[in-house]
Copies of this chain bind each other. A is one copy, B any other.
């Protein structure tokens, strides 16, 4: 069987990372088209991974040498690009967010549903991380009894200055939104954001850290500490507390060193590549394998839509200080 020919739209950090994987570590795929607003960036990546440059992303989606599309362009471009994929009926892996507005995300969900085949996978890679998979299995197998609480910790060592409180919700907390929905298998119905004193590393007006509190449909509570300028490393930890036990992942304990300062310990994963590199590859391989049969294998359009809706409520919760309800409208 010949390799799946993929158009990669957007080759910033994330898109370039995926393009490299698709052309080196993933089996059965190759990058046939690279598209980016910055032509030189597109040319550089195409030169490295193979494939031709196509300036217009919509033309890339519709090109004869494209079997599937990976969207890693800025979020504002997703709506048009995902719809173009639906127009042509090609499988797409869309990095979060699905779109930047609740209505447009819902419209995509409904349109795909009308088509009758899942074509849209959303890039929530944590669902493929072996630790999250083990945690999900533990819950599903009943090892913790009924889950009552989820505690998430999401820390970055540093971020660009434009990461304000609102951005932290849309770009960082969105992962915990999907993790909570994935682990608990139900929707989030409200969001509250607790803002305290900020690190002096944060720009004025940005609450970093914040505590985000989600409530699910059945009344479970999910807490998320989001702190993106710790100066430490990349720390993503999740604890689920159930009626018959609790479980934690993200403890990051592998090589343990004892040193002449009289200390023991190890390195924390410095960034998302070290922490979730394997999850990304598993995600890509499974998507490629599925796309070759015309479908997807992972979180879909509804998951992308729900995340957009919860984050929209989260941003309102940041601004108002109130608990904000999430309304997902009619179920599919």
Contacts and interface: CB of A to CB of B under 8 A. Distances in A.
B266 A265 contact: yes
Dominant secondary structure at the A interface = mixed
Interface string A228-257: 001111010000010111111101111111
B243 A259 contact: no
Given A199-B148, A227-B241, A251 B262 contact: no
Interface residues of A, number: 68
B215 A213 contact: no
Contacts of A278: 278
Interface string A120-148: 00000000001100110010000110101
A253 B255 contact: no
A232 B246 contact: yes
Given A255-B249, A257-B247, A258-B247, A209 B264 contact: no
B209 A196 contact: no
Contacts of A131: 254-255
Nearest to A274: B130
B232 A245 contact: yes
Closest 3 CB pairs of A and B: A265-B265, A196-B221, A197-B219
Interface of A: 24-27, 130-131, 134-135, 138, 143-144, 146, 148-149, 151, 157, 192, 194, 196-201, 209, 211, 213, 215, 218-221, 223, 225, 227, 230-233, 235, 241, 243-249, 251-260, 262-268, 270, 278, 285
22 contacts: A143-B257, A144-B257, A148-B198, A149-B209, A149-B211, A196-B221, A209-B241, A211-B223, A230-B241, A232-B260, A245-B257, A246-B257, A246-B258, A247-B256, A249-B254, A251-B256, A252-B264, A253-B254, A262-B267, A263-B268, A265-B265, A278-B278
Given A25-B27, A149-B196, A252-B264, 8 more contacts: A131-B255, A148-B198, A149-B225, A192-B194, A233-B262, A246-B258, A249-B255, A264-B268
